[in-house]
Amino acid sequence: MTASSGPLAHRRLFLKGAGLIVLIGLGNAVLHAPPAFAATNDNKYPDDAFKQKNAGDAIKALYGRDHEASDKIKLDAPEIAENGGVVPIAVSTSLPNVTSIAFIVAENPNALAASYKIPEGTVPAVANRLKMAKTSNVIALVESGGKLYSATKEVKVTVGGCGG
């Protein structure tokens, strides 16, 4: 047994390697298949980030890095939202080379609400409407020049957006 373990182990390793290559090949084939939806190439839905419960985990899953507060981000959100189902929230920034903008509602069941890619030539500003389950901090994240910046504002919610 001891005599054969060496070459056998090597064989195993080799087979594992081969399996891995096959898997990688398959992955590529899937990625290169013509997308049914026009924009799926290079734009995998960040399922994991959207499943995270709290803000920190969602930011980690989406960006994999820390963020720092920036006064160059303008976050427009109401002080008080009477209807948590439709809260108008907008962000704009004077930061250069912005590549993405994301919105986090910290107290929602899933913290990440929306994430936007900002290609070159697109103005680094987004307005949208989000649901808020209850009073919460809203965090706008801006990725600029490979770094992550944020602005935070508390929005008080009188009627939550997730009730029936």
**Contact between 55 and other proteins (CB under 8 A)?**
no
Residue numbers 116-155 binding other proteins by CB under 8 A = 116-119, 121-123, 125-132
Q: Are 101 and 112 in contact (CB under 8 A)?
A: no
CA distance readout (Å), 95 to 31, 40, 50, 146? 33, 28, 25, 12
Q: Can you tell me which of 114, 137, 152, 153 binds other proteins, judged by CB under 8 A?
A: 114
**Contact between 163 and other proteins (CB under 8 A)?**
yes
Residue numbers 6-35 binding other proteins by CB under 8 A = none
**Contact between 46 and other proteins (CB under 8 A)?**
yes
Q: Which of 105, 73, 71, 111 is nearest to 87 (CA)?
A: 105
User: CB of 26: closest distance to other proteins in angstroms?
Assistant: 21
**Of 12 and 51, which has the nearer Cβ to other proteins?**
51
Q: Are 5 and 13 in contact (CB under 8 A)?
A: no
Q: Which of 163, 145, 155 is nearest to 76 (CA)?
A: 155
**Contact between 95 and other proteins (CB under 8 A)?**
no
Q: Can you tell me which of 61, 76, 78, 85 binds other proteins, judged by CB under 8 A?
A: 85
The enclosing H or E element of 116 equals strand 112-117
Count Cβ atoms below 10 Å from residue 164 Cβ, excluding itself.
2
Q: Which residues bind other proteins (CB under 8 A)?
A: 36-40, 43, 45-46, 50, 85-87, 90, 105, 108-110, 112-119, 121-123, 125-132, 161-164
